[in-house]
């Protein structure tokens, strides 16, 4: 946890890389793409806590089709800085067996967690798995999963805002920023 003064200093020094207006346009575009692909499927939509809460909150009202909503919480990190096996904190409450499932997440970084979530959801008997990420970080290498719906590509920098945090702060920003490069 950082102090309010530390958080304000980080934001003052950060670089804006996706404005709030651009974020809004991207979310609207994604809603149209998702609706065109899944509008007749009556999917279960699962939001990945806690990063996807802002994205989900803006996207869901724009999806003009029936859906069931739930959330999941999974982590590969726990108290560690290196990822290891996936630890489920909250499994889907809805039965996903035989259902079309759409998972929402804030960012596709290395992709290991989202790939493990996909494997678990399919292992629970989902009819199909789809994922939508607001942002896909350009790492310059292959990932174990590709998102079906991507809002925007971000540079390989530490980014925050619009659900993504920096040391616990600034998930609530309507735009996306990158830390000042050293």
The two three-digit tokens of residue 13, written as one number: 């020094």
Burial code of 17-41, b = ≥16 C-beta within 10 A, e = fewer? bbeeeebeebbeebbeebeebbeeb
Query: 42, 100 in Cβ contact below 8 A?
Result: yes
How many other C-beta atoms lie within 10 A of the C-beta of residue 109? 19
Rg (CA), the chain: 16
Sign, CA dihedral 150-155-157-160, equals negative
Query: 50, 73 in Cβ contact below 8 A?
Result: yes
- Is 109 an active-site residue? yes
User: Cα–Cα distance between 39 and 34 in angstroms, integer?
Assistant: 7
Selecting among 21, 70, 106, 109, the annotated active-site residue is: 109
Name the residues annotated as catalytic. 109
């Amino acid at each position: 946890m950082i102090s309010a003064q530390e958080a304000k200093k980080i934001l003052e020094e950060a670089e804006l890389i996706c404005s709030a207006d651009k974020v809004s346009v991207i979310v609207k575009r994604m809603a149209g793409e998702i609706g065109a692909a899944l509008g007749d499927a009556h999917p279960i939509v699962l939001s990945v806590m806690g990063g996807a809460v802002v994205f989900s909150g803006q996207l869901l009202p724009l999806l003009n089709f029936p859906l069931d909503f739930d959330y999941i919480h999974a982590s590969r990190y726990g108290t560690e800085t290196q990822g290891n096996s996936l630890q489920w904190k909250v499994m889907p409450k809805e039965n996903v067996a035989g259902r079309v499932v759409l998972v929402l997440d804030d960012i596709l970084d290395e992709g290991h967690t989202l790939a493990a979530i996909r494997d678990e959801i399919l292992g629970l008997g989902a009819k199909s798995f789809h994922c939508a990420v607001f942002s896909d970080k350009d790492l310059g290498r292959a990932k174990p999963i590709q998102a079906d719906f991507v809002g925007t590509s971000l540079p390989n920098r530490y980014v925050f805002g619009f659900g993504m945090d920096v040391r616990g702060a600034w998930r609530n920003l309507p735009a996306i920023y990158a830390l000042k490069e050293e």
